[in-house]
């Protein structure tokens, strides 16, 4: 498999463009319909991308009665949790075409429980997020939480009530995965570029993980290569895990697409909020293309480096070097940036992502407004050296990534899935050949910066 070298004025990395989703009139039809009509109204079918908009509108209309929502992918329906059986509330949900579901715990109850967890159980190796499907907070403790630490977490969860929160043990370790979409290199660490954007001042830039942004000020598109971009803003830990990195050449043309390998790309047409139950794809330079579902929102993760809030929780796998990589949908919505988690692409695990919409707002950037050559992404990480950087277990991308991609992507992404092990942005055969013995080159033990531990991940919190 041959690879082109990246032209210095063209970004061979993931990208996207912002577009508004459906208007209220579309998602909330028949606003003046009678209650009689609402009682008999059949649920509408929706695309997953419409779910977050409808949920937001209903949340503002229903007030305290609203207790979360999720997307039923099998039925293509939006389920809205409601406290109590107020007929007016139920009818409002039905008029919008959604399915009302009566639950016990209100949003305020679950938020209060999360506050208690923050106060009493903020221990490295723990995480929690609301699961609207069960109307509970799901608390996870990784393999490092033992002894007195486990007892503290368990006691805190029990104090919340069995119908409010549940606790489970994760076999892996929460760590950030600094090591890989297309690979980028800086300060001895290796990460993945997420999406190309346009900064507030009109200059070309890209988003990646914040823990990558605090690891190094300058980043290259090849290992040991000259820097091509400089960190402008970075947040980690704290209220997110994202960084805005500006290209040093103001003439850089950043394509609005995700490079999924094998010369194929997925065009990114908008940034969108995640919805529980939504099918998503993740691209990273270590493990390539993998798919899964959103399982929680507004997640809190206690990494060894500190606590990060406001993340998306998923069952998508990731490994060291995937940090900062793209989370997107098969129809071209930019959803998130890989932060961290536990597990790998052999045994699975939880992976957390920074919401793209939140990052864009925080840094004042837009996705895709000025994206240049559509082919720029093809130049990809072949020369970016994703394989050279190692990423520790980079070869693990071969462990079914192709099969997973086939399940969630369209024909284009599915075809790329067969090359998932090689897909660090067209990293080709280098990834599999060099991942094991060069795991240290990318990030190795350069974790002193907070981004380089465990198999070149660069962070101790599975930041894929």
Q: What is the pLDDT of residue 219?
A: 95
Q: What is the pLDDT of residue 343?
A: 79
Residues of the chain where predicted confidence (pLDDT) is lower than 70: 1-40, 177-182, 368-464
Q: How far apart are CA 147 and CA 310, in angstroms?
A: 28
Q: What is the pLDDT of residue 269?
A: 85
CA distances from 82 to 61, 91, 99, 135 (A): 12, 11, 10, 10
Instruction: Output phi, psi for 39, to 5 deg.
Output: -60, -35
Q: What is the pLDDT of residue 153?
A: 97
Q: What is the pLDDT of residue 462?
A: 39
- Cα of first residue to Cα of last residue in the chain, in angstroms, is 26
CA nearest 353: which of 386, 315, 384, 397? 315
297 pairs with which residues across the strands?
A: 130
Q: What is the architecture, at CATH level 2, of domain 1-20+106-464?
A: Beta Barrel (2.40)
CA nearest 296: which of 234, 341, 265? 341
pLDDT tens-place string over residues 88-108: 999 999 999 999 999 999 999
Q: How far apart are CA 392 and CA 190, in angstroms?
A: 11
Q: What is the pLDDT of residue 40?
A: 62
Q: What is the pLDDT of residue 387?
A: 34
Q: What is the pLDDT of residue 262?
A: 82
Q: How far apart are CA 458 and CA 447, in angstroms?
A: 5
Say if CB 284 and CB 266 are below 8 A apart: no
**3-state DSSP helix/strand/coil % of the chain, to nearest 5:** 25, 30, 40
Show Cβ contacts of residue 302 under 8 Å, excluding neighbours closer than 6 positions: 122, 123, 124, 125, 126, 127, 174
Q: What is the pLDDT of residue 247?
A: 94
Catalytic residue positions, numbered: 211, 241, 323
Q: What is the pLDDT of residue 461?
A: 37
Q: Where are the domains of the chain?
A: 1-20+106-464, 24-103
pLDDT tens-place string over residues 178-235: 432 458 999 888 899 999 999 999 999 999 999 999 999 999 988 888 999 999 999 9
CA atoms 69, 70, 76, 79: torsion sign: negative
Q: What is the architecture, at CATH level 2, of domain 24-103?
A: 2-Layer Sandwich (3.30)
């Amino acid at each position: 498999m041959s690879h082109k070298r990246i032209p210095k004025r063209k970004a061979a990395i993931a990208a996207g463009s912002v577009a508004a989703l459906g208007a209220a009139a579309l998602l909330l039809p028949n606003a003046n319909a009678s209650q009689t009509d609402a009682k008999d109204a059949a649920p509408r079918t929706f695309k997953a991308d419409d779910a977050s908009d409808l949920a937001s509108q209903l949340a503002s209309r229903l007030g305290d009665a609203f207790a979360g929502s999720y997307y039923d992918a099998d039925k293509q329906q939006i389920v809205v949790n409601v406290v109590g059986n107020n007929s007016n509330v139920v009818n409002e949900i039905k008029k919008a075409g959604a399915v009302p579901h009566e639950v016990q715990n209100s949003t305020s109850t679950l938020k209060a429980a999360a506050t208690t967890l923050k106060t009493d159980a903020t221990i490295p190796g723990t995480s929690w997020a609301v699961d609207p499907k069960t109307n509970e907070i799901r608390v996870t403790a990784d393999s490092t939480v033992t002894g007195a630490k486990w007892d503290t977490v368990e006691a805190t969860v029990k104090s919340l009530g069995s119908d409010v929160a549940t606790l489970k043990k994760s076999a892996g370790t929460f760590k950030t995965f600094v090591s890989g979409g297309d690979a980028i290199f800086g300060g001895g660490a290796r990460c993945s570029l997420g999406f190309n954007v346009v900064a507030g001042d009109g200059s070309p830039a890209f988003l990646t993980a914040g823990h990558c942004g605090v690891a190094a000020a300058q980043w290259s598109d090849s290992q040991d290569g000259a820097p091509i971009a400089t960190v402008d803003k970075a947040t980690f830990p704290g209220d997110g895990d994202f960084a805005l990195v500006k290209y040093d050449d103001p003439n850089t043309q950043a394509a609005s697409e995700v490079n999924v390998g094998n010369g194929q790309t997925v065009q990114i047409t908008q940034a969108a909020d995640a919805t529980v139950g939504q099918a998503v794809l993740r691209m990273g330079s270590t493990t390539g293309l993998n798919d899964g579902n959103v399982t929680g929102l507004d997640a809190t993760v206690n990494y060894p480096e500190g606590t990060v809030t406001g993340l998306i929780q998923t069952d998508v796998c990731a490994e060291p070097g995937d940090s900062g990589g793209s989370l997107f949908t098969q129809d071209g919505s930019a959803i998130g940036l890989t932060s961290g988690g536990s597990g790998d692409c052999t045994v699975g695990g939880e992976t957390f992502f920074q919401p793209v919409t939140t990052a864009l707002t925080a840094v004042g950037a837009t996705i895709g407004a000025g994206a240049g050559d559509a082919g720029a992404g093809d130049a990809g990480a072949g020369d970016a050296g994703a394989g050279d950087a190692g990423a520790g277990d980079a070869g693990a991308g071969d462990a079914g990534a192709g099969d997973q991609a086939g399940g969630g992507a369209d024909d284009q992404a599915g075809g790329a899935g067969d090359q998932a092990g090689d897909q660090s942005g067209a990293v080709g055969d280098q990834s599999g050949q060099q991942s094991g013995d060069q795991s240290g080159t990318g990030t190795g033990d350069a974790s002193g910066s907070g981004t380089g531990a465990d198999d070149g991940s660069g962070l101790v919190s599975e930041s894929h």
